[in-house]
Chains A and B, each alone.
Chain A
Amino acid sequence: MTAPLPKRIIKETERLQNEPVPGISATPHDDNARYFDVMVEGPGGSCYEGGVFNLELFLPDDYPMCPPRIRFLTRIYHPNIDRLGRICLDVLKNNWSPALQIRTILLSIQALLGAPNPEDPLNEAVAKQWKENQQEAINTAREWTKMYAQRK
């Protein structure tokens, strides 16, 4: 690391370790304090319940002026998440505010799992299925959760 780590990132990391959010964890890499291994549990009552989803999170140089980059590593059947794990979420793009934090963003992602939005799709095929046959889509999401998102 050439530049010293900004106070903001140090504080955020400390707080994530000391007061973890239930169902969410984010651990920085030893060799790169801007790169985090993230784990998010599927919210209770949703079709992702019981699943444990791994994500990667990277804080770019101009963070917090720019949003962090986040991607699902675990496969997931969700209309706003594509096959590469990229997430369509307003706060990660236009509505990013430097006052937001890793913690709040991860909560937003967890909320997105609880409330898929097929009207604003990133994954067209899944969104179509979600709109045409919601029950079927939910079943598929459950299956995928069982198949790919189990705690190892």
Chain B
Amino acid sequence: MPPTRKRKLDQTTSISNATSPPKRHQVEDLTREEAELPATPQTLTSDKGMDSDDDFNSVASSMDLGEEMSSSVDFGAADSDGDVDEYEDDNTGFETSAKDLVGKRKAFETDFRVYSPQDIQNQQDAQVAEVANLLEQPPEATAILLRYGRWNKERVIEQYMDNQEELLEKAGLGQDIRRNPPRIESVSGFVCDICCEDDHDMESFAMICGHRFCTDCYRQYLTQKIKDEGEAARIKCPGDRCNKIIDAKSLDLLVPADLTNRYHALLMRTYVDDRESLKWCPAPNCVYAVECSVKRRDLLKIVPTVHCDCKHAFCFGCTLADHQPCPCALVKKWLKKCEDDSETANWISANTKECPKCHSTIEKNGGCNHMTCRKCKNEFCWMCMGLWSEHGTSWYNCSRFEEKSGHDARDAQARSRQSLERYLHYYNRYANHEQSAKLDKDIFHKTEKKMTLLQATSGMSWIEVQFLEGASQALQQCRETLKWTYAFAYYLGRNNQTEIFEDNQRDLEMAVENLSEMFEKPTDQLAGLKVEMLDKTAYCQKRKVVVLDDTARKLKEGEWDLIFCTP
């Protein structure tokens, strides 16, 4: 993770620009250290973490993204050098967007990087080039091997070294792919098994498995796989039960360019999907992918919010919109709870009883304990649920009041009521902030109008009225955070920390409401409030950071008593 790409880039940059050779040993030593210490953005790390052979997988997945860069220099043949240069050119903008190196990191901040499709493609190419060099296989075959191994490079290399034949077979490659470059041929006496055509000059193609088909049929087959089925990484030979995978080079020979583009786009999708450390930004029409090293198993300790270059903030763990400070598992439970009818059922059990005879649900909204079911005309006592006729002369006063069954029933009802009240307490606040955030969004749309108006009435310049937009955005972000603090609080068991949390929550809430109020003021007053509003905006942001930092830190250290079994 933070042993990021960025640093790798820096390394490669220096290596390829300066003449000094890469200091590999030094780098290796540092890595050993890093394998033991938790990575922090400040630590100079490298990719050779692989050398320490314990923790193979986890290190592999977090490291290898960057690895290809320095490694490609190490192993690099002429063409991979070219890749490196190209890479730098494409990514000059990274310097500024590298959030991991800027300032001191708060507990709720997560390291991540944003990649454009071109970056992703370069990454893929670089990895393929590196492994291809090492295994002495052509790149298109190497790509198939890597896809088969879900881009776990080290494991692929290891398996290859262990048993080359087996890996090649399993991955859907042949033994002698090197000696048989793909080509389209005309073979005399050939009959295509798909279309049954047998023209003597008909062009045909076969992979090393020898299943030969005419190019028309092959093309039609590939088109269907790519276009209709969205398949790319594992398109097999059309032959019956043949497991050979079509490689990119053969594909290029057979299909038109537009399809090749689609094919590569699909491959890129599987590349990102295959890697735990990469995710597509879920925003509509966004083309970026984000890299983050937070693992699935860490998600109870950390809420990894990442910010895509398209401005969308989302959780890397579950790809929902940012939900700090509430951990993914609780968000999922909470949303489900709010969505399903569990609380309706709870309300029913808290506020109603069933007619003992026909089981209709009855809510008592006043009157005495002598109930007459409207449906079945059964007369019973609301207190003991027994027949009213058995109450004898003690009308309106249930003598069986203290029976144990009645007791238990009331206890259960009380518990239901309490649980409902607790839920509603948090839900109302959660929903209120959600609603307010929506309203704030409307305000945001009106802000621009207000800003123009303010420019006209106060003679302020456009730059000077930007404080309104800043305030509006802060308001929305803080409400979003507040909203999730209530979901978080619902699952929070009381301990020493709870009070601090509630204080922080209240402070933020007050700050938000204050700022929100100012927003409602008529436009002519706004200009006079500029300084105050700027202050309040900054204060809101500060309170938000306090809440998030406190919750994130204690989450990491396991200081919250989170109640996961709450319904």
A residues within 8 Å of B by Cβ? Answer: 6-8, 10-12, 62, 64-65, 91, 95, 97-100, 104
Find chain A residues with CB under 8 A from B221 CB. 65, 98
B295 contacts the other chain (Cβ, under 8 Å)? no
Find chain A residues with CB under 8 A from B213 CB. 98-99
Contact B241 A97 (CB under 8 A): yes
Contact B196 A11 (CB under 8 A): yes
Instruction: Given the known inter-chain contacts A65-B221, A65-B224, please indicate yes or no for A100 contacting B197, CB distance below 8 A.
Output: no
| Closest chain B CB from A30 CB (angstroms) | 22
Find chain A residues with CB under 8 A from B211 CB. 99
New A-B pairs, 7, CB < 8 Å, besides A98-B217, A99-B193, A99-B238: A8-B196, A65-B221, A65-B224, A95-B241, A97-B240, A98-B213, A99-B213
Q: How far is the CA of A8 from the CA of B217 in the complex (A)?
A: 11
Q: How far is the CA of A10 from the CA of B239 in the complex (A)?
A: 21
The size of the chain B interface, using a CB distance under 8 A, is 16
- From B196, B197, B239, A97 is in contact (CB under 8 Å) with B239
B residues within 8 Å of A by Cβ? Answer: 193-197, 211, 213, 217, 220-221, 224, 238-242
Find chain B residues with CB under 8 A from A104 CB. 240
Find chain A residues with CB under 8 A from B193 CB. 98-99
SS class of chain B's interface: helix, strand, loop or mixed? loop
| Closest chain B CB from A16 CB (angstroms) | 13
Find chain B residues with CB under 8 A from A65 CB. 220-221, 224
| Closest chain B CB from A132 CB (angstroms) | 32
- What are 7 inter-chain pairs, A to B, with CB distance below 8 A? A7-B195, A8-B196, A10-B196, A64-B194, A65-B220, A97-B242, A99-B239
Which one of A62, A64, A104 has the highest number of Cβ atoms from chain B below 10 Å of its Cβ?
Answer: A64
| Closest chain B CB from A137 CB (angstroms) | 29
- From A8, A62, A95, A100, B195 is in contact (CB under 8 Å) with A8
Instruction: Given the known inter-chain contacts A65-B220, A65-B224, please indicate yes or no for A99 contacting B196, CB distance below 8 A.
Output: no
| Closest chain B CB from A100 CB (angstroms) | 5
Which one of A7, A10, A99, A104 has the highest number of Cβ atoms from chain B below 10 Å of its Cβ?
Answer: A99
Q: How far is the CA of A91 from the CA of B224 in the complex (A)?
A: 17
Q: How far is the CA of A10 from the CA of B219 in the complex (A)?
A: 22
Q: Lowest 10 A-B CB distances belong to which pairs?
A: A97-B240, A11-B196, A8-B196, A98-B194, A99-B193, A7-B196, A99-B240, A98-B238, A99-B239, A8-B195
| Closest chain B CB from A49 CB (angstroms) | 28
Q: How far is the CA of A98 from the CA of B224 in the complex (A)?
A: 12
| Closest chain A CB from B350 CB (angstroms) | 41
Contact B195 A97 (CB under 8 A): no
Contact A7 B241 (CB under 8 A): no
Q: How far is the CA of A6 from the CA of B220 in the complex (A)?
A: 14
Find chain A residues with CB under 8 A from B217 CB. 98
